[in-house]
Amino acid sequence: MSVTVISLTSMTVAVITYHHAMGRWEPDARGRLAKAAMELYAEQGFEQTTVAEIATRAGLTERTFFRHFTDKREVLFYGSEMLRDLLTVAVQEAPPSATALDAAGAAFEAACAMLQENPERSRLRDAIVSANAELRERELIKLAALADTVAAALRDRGVPDPAASLAAETGVAVFKIAFARWVREPGPADLQGIFRDSMAELRAVLADRTSV
């Protein structure tokens, strides 16, 4: 099995040897279905696209679609567990001297690096999610789960609450702002750089408040 990083998620591509007895199973079926779904969502809208259309565009069957995805929304959200693992490892690997906010920032900077690998898909996915209220709500739920993951990893480092939760929620907030800036900028903008700049701006604001 090979793994290809895409968007806010990682996509696991199952390589399956084709055999006539297996019907229409094909190599890279999940990747083909995801590509077909994204194309159709962009062309005609998420709500207007059916699973049957996705399967037909991919040259596969609806049954094959449901072997890989529970529903058409999952094309946009699958792989969250792998992303949470990435965040957890980044917090764990932060230097012992790192503050809670530094460790949270390292985690979300790692997420930025992953998204940066496929900027076109990340921007397309954002446009699709932003155009649908149900998807926007699910995106907020996903971000809340990422904050919970980072907070738990911080607590494992010995950071008590509420500091762990505050640092994690702050990291998510900065990540959201940096990502919004990134998707609006044309060309190959540096998401990691935007995130680091946003964190620096936050620290400057905090320093101003403490100096008053």
Mean pLDDT of all residues belonging to the chain: 85
Mind listing the domains of the chain with CATH numbers?
2-75 (1.10.357.10), 79-211 (1.10.357.10)
Confidence of residue 81 (pLDDT cuts 50, 70, 90): confident
Residue 10 has what pLDDT? 35
pLDDT in tens, 40-73: 999 999 999 999 999 999 999 999 999 999 999 9
Q: Residue 157: exposed, middle, or buried by beta-carbon count in 10 A (0-12, 13-18, 19+)?
A: middle
3-state secondary structure of 212: coil
Neighbours of 205 (CB within 10 A): 10
β-pair partners for 11:
4
Residues in a beta bridge with 13? 2
pLDDT band at 82 (very low <50, low <70, confident <90, very high): confident
- Per-residue tokens: 48: 């207007």
> Stretch 111-131: mean pLDDT, rounded?
91
Per the CB < 8 A criterion, the answer to whether 120 and 38 are in contact is: no
Q: Give the per-residue pLDDT at 128.
A: 95
pLDDT of residue 23: 37
pLDDT at 188: 63
Residue 87 has pLDDT above 50, yes or no: yes
